[in-house]
Chains A and B, each alone.
Chain A
């Protein structure tokens, strides 16, 4: 198929990146560093770049965050107010005895306090570790254990529903509640009331740990990717060139801060660029979303393929029915945006969605489409200035760059960019394994075309990508085998039109249990209670036996090939034929 091309006409506002080729060639990171201020007392602190410096530059009255509540209320936080509140939160942490380096976990919906807490935590040089509120008790407990949580910020409802049952595993943990007190927990409003507005950020070494984001691998426990304050150089720069953020923009990132996009681009990058950032408390609702785009005069919109595909189902009508004239730039991330969706956007909005690519480990956008660059629907675009991306042929411990266009290999980034993860907490060996020489190997398979555009092909491992979130099959299998009837479980991702992939589990029962619809629902209930809806399987199928290697490992690849009718590949390691 000939690749279509969406050509760019003269833009309404001069793009921050007027020409990719010349910017890419001329780039060096010192120029990007010059776009942040640095702390007056020395070093780099994300919260200073995101908030305090705008106050110092006289933009304290500008709205930093406009929060839209589920039931229609609106709360505006100016940069000055956000500076004050985050200073108070930093003092709250100090008053509670938290020291620099302590881990502040956050489990909450998109409430204003979440944003204040994230920035206050960074001011105090504590480490911000967000959790997704649709996680069940097990993923929450596991991540808090791995991360060594010192404090958990949450709500009364989430505490009761998801944390109370595992709290005894965390004897020293302080629990701070957004909405008042409960037994054994501290009231955030009361603590904020007591705390001072004044907090001076101490000199912060750029290599100080700032963010801890959990992600999933094929095997083992989730991995806590560590990011440092220097990452803000990349957050700020990528927001500027890949999202084309200008200081007067009204920007809406629809991602939840429980995932890396919602932190890097839902909190840090937009605030660094001085925009007004919209935060919607509610879940996806197509009608509401069009109303927000219109009423809030959103000019830059960063969303995800799952949402775009749901909007497509409504067709062009609602787009025409709303005044979306303020909307200048649309971007998408989470999983590859299918060409139909890019073309649809271009047809009905009169502008394409700009897909981009990055991961929890990369901390910031690595490969992107740009306001000034033609879009090839289906392509993730070209590397950001400063980012060297390549397709590698990996064999064992060695890797070689594939120079020839159109050849599939491992998508890799040359190490050394500011937001590169500095390790997986407590898992040095797993971190080392991500690198082949100077290359960070992403685990995504891709191709590069003759013009340097990158195209996603698939994952090189068994990780499942559902609604833009990575799900580790091992985590799901572990929960399933805890059910008394389950002998073994194999978990794969199967294609689904809205979410891209959904989690499907194959389950073999223990002797004495017979497959039934009732048992299936019982196992599903068990998995959902443990894992929460974001991680639990959407489908369960019984099998007498699961295909295994001679060493006893379940062959997920084979389960998937058989489920989808794909070639079964090399079966030489299969234990026995079925």
Chain B
């Protein structure tokens, strides 16, 4: 579980390396607490899809707004 979270944070840090991983609140919209814009978020979702071999359709993007969301999404979609 925490390994999965670390991997996801690692993907985010490649896009927004200025982020202090220790300060990410897992249940708050990433776009609200960090300086990331729509393009960053899009790139982050694409990176997750690639990393975990998932197809993440655009309609699921709203389910990937917080770190907890992302972990839950990957857990429920990964085979």
Contact = CB atoms under 8 A, between A and B. Distances in A.
B40 A287 contact: no
Contacts, number: 56
A313 B61 CA distance: 12
Contact of B39 (A161, A521, A528, A538): A538
B76 interface: no
Contacts of B39: 466-467, 498-499, 502, 533, 538
A140 interface: no
Interface residues of A, number: 29
Contacts of A534: 37
A310 B37 CA distance: 15
B16 interface: yes
B61 A528 contact: no
B35 A286 contact: no
A417 to B, nearest CB: 33
B40 A533 contact: yes
B27 interface: no
A190 interface: no
Given A134-B37, A136-B35, A533-B39, A524 B17 contact: yes
Contacts of B43: 538
Contacts of A467: 38-39
B53 to A, nearest CB: 19
A285 B58 CA distance: 9
A471 B54 CA distance: 33
Interface of B is mostly: helix
A540 to B, nearest CB: 10
| B40, B59, B62 pick with most chain A CB within 10 angstroms | B59
Interface in B21-79: 31, 35-43, 57-59, 61-62
Contact of A313 (B31, B37, B38, B58): B58
Contact of B35 (A161, A285, A502): A161
B3 interface: no
Given A467-B39, A521-B13, A528-B18, A288 B59 contact: no
Interface string A524-537: 11101100111000
Given A522-B17, A524-B17, A533 B58 contact: no
Contacts of B37: 134, 283, 533-534
Contacts of B17: 521-522, 524-525, 528
A220 interface: no
Contacts of B14: 521
Contacts of B13: 521
A513 interface: no
Contacts of A285: 61-62
Contacts of A161: 35
B31 A287 contact: no
A286 B63 CA distance: 12
A156 to B, nearest CB: 13
Interface in A503-548: 521-522, 524-526, 528-529, 532-534, 538
Nearest to A528: B18
Enumerate the 5 nearest inter-chain pairs by beta-carbon distance, A residue then B residue, closest first.
A525-B18, A525-B17, A521-B17, A533-B37, A529-B18
Given A310-B58, A528-B17, A533-B36, 15 more contacts: A284-B38, A285-B61, A285-B62, A286-B61, A287-B59, A467-B38, A498-B42, A502-B39, A521-B13, A525-B16, A525-B17, A528-B16, A529-B18, A532-B35, A533-B40
Interface of B: 13-14, 16-18, 31, 35-43, 57-59, 61-62
30 contacts: A134-B37, A283-B37, A283-B38, A285-B62, A286-B58, A287-B62, A288-B62, A310-B42, A310-B58, A313-B58, A314-B57, A314-B59, A318-B59, A466-B39, A467-B38, A498-B42, A502-B39, A521-B13, A521-B14, A521-B17, A524-B17, A524-B18, A525-B17, A528-B17, A528-B18, A528-B35, A533-B16, A533-B40, A534-B37, A538-B43
